[in-house]
Amino acid sequence: MLSIDPSADIQTVITTFETSPGACQDLLDELREAYQAFISRQSGFVAAGLHVNDAQTRIANYSQWERREDFLAMLRSDEMRRRNRKINELCKSFEPVMYDVAESFG
């Protein structure tokens, strides 16, 4: 379960994808499949969420990992490199960025 907690000892990764309304659903389907079949089964995976803006031009992905090394190992795997080539075809750009939770509210 996703939990935004500054005291949690986890790595947060936020990835933004810039896409077009015509490709948004295909990209979302590809990301959903990647999480269901591969990413969520990797060592250190905690949880993730996918968010789509109302114009269907951006997808934001929030994921949590036990350690940054777990995320990097998943990202560098042959399977994820293959998937990222396909994901790259469906968007103008995407960028995963690692963050530490500084504060949470609510």
pLDDT of residue 52: 98
Task: Quickly list H helices, the chain.
Answer: 21-37, 68-76, 78-89
Q: If we measure between CA atoms, which residue out of 9, 28, 6 comes closest to residue 19?
A: 28
pLDDT of residue 32: 98
Domain that holds residue 55: 11-99
In a domain, 92, yes or no: yes
In a domain, 1, yes or no: no
Q: If we measure between CA atoms, which residue out of 18, 36, 38 comes closest to residue 27?
A: 18
Quick: pLDDT tens for 48-72. Answer: 999 999 999 999 999 999 999 999 9
Question: How many structural domains does the chain have?
Answer: 1
| Terminal-residue alpha carbon distance, the chain | 16
Residue 33 has pLDDT above 80, yes or no: yes
Quick: pLDDT tens for 76-97. Answer: 999 999 999 999 999 999 999 9
In a domain, 106, yes or no: no
Q: What is the CATH number of the domain that holds 58?
A: 3.30.70.100
